[in-house]
Amino acid sequence: MNFEPHNLLVTGGAGFIGANFVRHWLYTAGHGKVVVLDALTYAGNPENLASLAGDPRYAFVRGDICDEGLVREVFERHQIDTVVHFAAESHVDRSILGPDEFIRTNVVGTHSLLKAAKRAWLDGKGVAAHRFHHVSTDEVYGSLGAEDPPFHEATPYAPNSPYSASKAGSDHLVRAYHETYGLKTTVTNCSNNYGPFQFPEKLIPLIIINILHGKPLPVYGDGLQVRDWLHVADHCAAIGLALTRGAPGEVYNIGGDGETTNIHIVHSLCSLVDEHLARNAELRTAFPMSPAATGGKSQQLVEHVRDRLGHDRRYAIDFRKAARTLGYAPSRDLQTGLAETLNWYLIHEAWWRPLLGDSYAKWIDKNYSPSRLPSMPPTAAAPAILPSVPPPSEPVPGR
């Protein structure tokens, strides 16, 4: 039977996927009230939700999911019957340099939410119709070899980074609250998201912004690591389906049918930016340091740097269960999604420019400076998995 959420608590709703989900839910899925609980860490940005200001179906609470008193109060005040839990420390590189915050938010924070949900929905009078949806990652399954079959829901957990270990811990707690107490939970484990509003520490926005500024494009190791790329809009649609059609206690893997190497992503973005600048004089004026502004090629910026510690070689997702039981199917191929995403970043400089301040510069310095290995040989030309670039779906307006 389908579940109909009424009052949703969306944790981490000011982050990349959370903000896309809140807008997706209110504008397309369309029912219920959404309360966002977000601590506004470096990754949380009120601008991501600015278009919802004044919408009576939406409320924002700034706070920490580890604050049990606050979480309990939000449940009571807003009569929450549904949790969609995004809040997390999400960047693998940051987890390598500082794991503590990942354990606190991802493990302790998830437990704080589970306790509040149990108290509100199961203890005392209870709320029979409820859902706790936990947003997790394919990284909990570890790393695949080139010929291995993709991750499926029964693949044993083998997390390799502090980030993925903390997500694995949270997944196990969610499972335990279902098995032990009967909490109606669903979990989605998905692949690498990309699209609008992604903080420029992650590969795709980092590369776009570095190309525009003529800065080095840091490729870890040989760049032949494989990820499955999932457009954030498809991920949000999948979460909506899991919430309303998913069965309590079930786990669903969500993929984008977009397996490719990192170096291919980087080369594709280089070609896309070069084509945009070749066509558009305003962009050449706006980004004079980008190689294509002066007739050069962005690929000359590629720098192979020391590999990420414990770097997973390949992720791939078998999402047949979600297709069969939820009706999920990704709507965008990677080529279209990358072109749209680049276009979004070109149009929304006013969104990303303020993010490149002191704390961002410190992060870039901390993560990249010691790891440069200028002596590494350049990678052989990557196989052209993506065909040549299509025209962008929207024109880039004057700036």
C-alpha distances out from residue 60 to 40, 78, 198, 236, 398, Å: 11, 11, 20, 19, 33
Within residues 358-397, the interface with ligand NAD by CB under 6 A covers: none
167 binds ligand NAD (CB under 6 A): yes
**Cβ partners under 8 Å of residue 41, min gap 6:** 89
For CA atoms 315, 195, 106, 183, the dihedral sign is negative
Strand 259-261 versus strand 226-231 pairing type: antiparallel
Residue closer to ligand DAU (CB basis): 219 or 272? 219
Residue closer to ligand DAU (CB basis): 224 or 323? 224
Query: Tokens standing for 79?
Result: 């009569």
Within residues 131-170, the interface with ligand DAU by CB under 6 A covers: 137-139
Within residues 104-123, the interface with ligand DAU by CB under 6 A covers: none
Among 17, 203, 251, 389, binds ligand NAD (CB under 6 A): 17
| DSSP β-bridge partners for residue 82 | 8, 131
The minimum distance between CB 277 and ligand NAD, in angstroms, equals 28
Query: Tokens standing for 252?
Result: 């669903």
**Residue 66's binding partner, choosing from ligand DAU, ligand NAD, none, with beta-carbon cut-off 5 to 8 A by kind?**
ligand NAD
235 binds ligand DAU (CB under 6 A): no
Residue 318: helix, strand or coil by DSSP? Answer: coil
User: For the chain, how long is the longest CA-to-CA vector?
Assistant: 70
By annotation, the residues acting in catalysis are 138-139, 163
Residue closer to ligand DAU (CB basis): 68 or 257? 257
What mask, x for binding ligand DAU by CB under 6 A, covers residues 69 to 108?
---------------------xxx----------------
**Residue 227's binding partner, choosing from ligand DAU, ligand NAD, none, with beta-carbon cut-off 5 to 8 A by kind?**
ligand DAU
Within residues 174-213, the interface with ligand NAD by CB under 6 A covers: 190, 192-193, 199
Residues 91 and 360 sit within 8 Å (Cβ to Cβ): no
189 binds ligand DAU (CB under 6 A): no
Residues 114 and 64 sit within 8 Å (Cβ to Cβ): no
**Residue 95's binding partner, choosing from ligand NAD, ligand DAU, none, with beta-carbon cut-off 5 to 8 A by kind?**
none
The minimum distance between CB 90 and ligand DAU, in angstroms, equals 4
Residues 64 and 27 sit within 8 Å (Cβ to Cβ): no
Start-end of H helices in 34-161: 68-78, 92-97, 100-102, 110-121
